[in-house]
Amino acid sequence: MRVERNLDNIDKCLCMKCISYTGECKLKNAPENFLKLMENYKLTDHYEKMFCAYGKSQCIELKQGCLCSQCEIYYKYKLQNKYYCLKTGGKTV
């Protein structure tokens, strides 16, 4: 099941709380994330959050921990893998 790109899911997303999403990544991507949220987040190709819906992070490089299986979205959409932040096109490890 494909994860819907909607405000409710974006709000529930744990990606930015994950240890793999470093403070440096948060600071670097905050302005762009804010602008994309104000624009049409449903049509954007990349959003540095909710990687299970938007694809691989452009900032995360290392597996330092994963919150995917603790996320409401994970259960709502019956996701089965982890580290969506490190794989493109919904393919996961």
pLDDT, average across residues 66-86? 94
What number of other Cβ atoms are within 10 A of residue 30's Cβ?
Answer: 12
Distance CA 73, CA 68 (A): 8
pLDDT at 90 > cutoff 60: no
- Give the pTM: 0.85
For residue range 16-53, what is the model confidence (pLDDT) as tens digits? 999 999 999 999 999 888 888 888 888 888 889 999 99
Q: Given this model, what pLDDT does residue 67 score?
A: 95
